[in-house]
A and B are shown apart, each in its own frame.
Chain A
Amino acid sequence: GQQLNQSPQSMFIQEGEDVSMNCTSSSIFNTWLWYKQDPGEGPVLLIALYKAGELTSNGRLTAQFGITRKDSFLNISASIPSDVGIYFCAGHPRIQGGSEKLVFGKGTKLTVNP
């Protein structure tokens, strides 16, 4: 089935640093979503992208829908301790037979040292 390659798998950074992570696919996606999951909780939607080239911000978070429609990245600026968690990308493939199934990356685990 469809797969998303999310990198890096984990990141260890100092408070105040900027963070960048990305997702790539071998096929075209219509939608890119970025989620954050705290330990023991459900993922929370951070940003949704629907158009190629779209650049969207949510506070210190910025995400972009790649021009090729096969990738997306998420940037976090000036990281703070509460940014700790696992960040997942998810996408809706272009050809999916009309279903609402999403494909998920395996996540980027972020650790922020105060």
Chain B
Amino acid sequence: DGGITQSPKYLFRKEGQNVTLSCEQNLNHDAMYWYRQDPGQGLRLIYYSQIVNDFQKGDIAEGYSVSREKKESFPLTVTSAQKNPTAFYLCASSIGSSGGNEQFFGPGTRLTVL
């Protein structure tokens, strides 16, 4: 089954702790993305990567970090510098510049910081 997986589904952390959210895809897509969704809001882009070992800041990158060491994986770290980290985090992927713009999403991770 091809798709995007995110783990865990729910995550609880204490304030001041860094936490890493996992995103894996087996679609052989070049591009991957991280979005944040707050209640009643649209999707806001945190970081994106168009190719392995390269990534760019999105609209709300402050307090977050990413890596792209493998094509299949794009983990997101929510650092203690992120002032309001409680949110629903969505990972997505697309074929990349060689194909269309359709992005496919994972099931999401709900992060709650206590």
Contacts and interface: CB of A to CB of B under 8 A. Distances in A.
Interface of A: 1, 30-31, 33, 35, 40-45, 48, 50, 88, 90, 92, 98-102, 104-107
Nearest to A35: B105
Of the four ranges (under 10, 10 to 19, 20 to 34, 35 or more), the interface on chain B belongs to 20 to 34
Contacts, number: 60
Given A42-B108, A100-B50, 17 more contacts: A30-B101, A31-B100, A33-B101, A40-B88, A41-B108, A42-B6, A42-B106, A43-B43, A43-B90, A50-B100, A100-B94, A100-B97, A100-B101, A101-B45, A102-B103, A104-B43, A105-B42
B71 interface: no
Contacts of B48: 99-101
A44 B42 contact: no
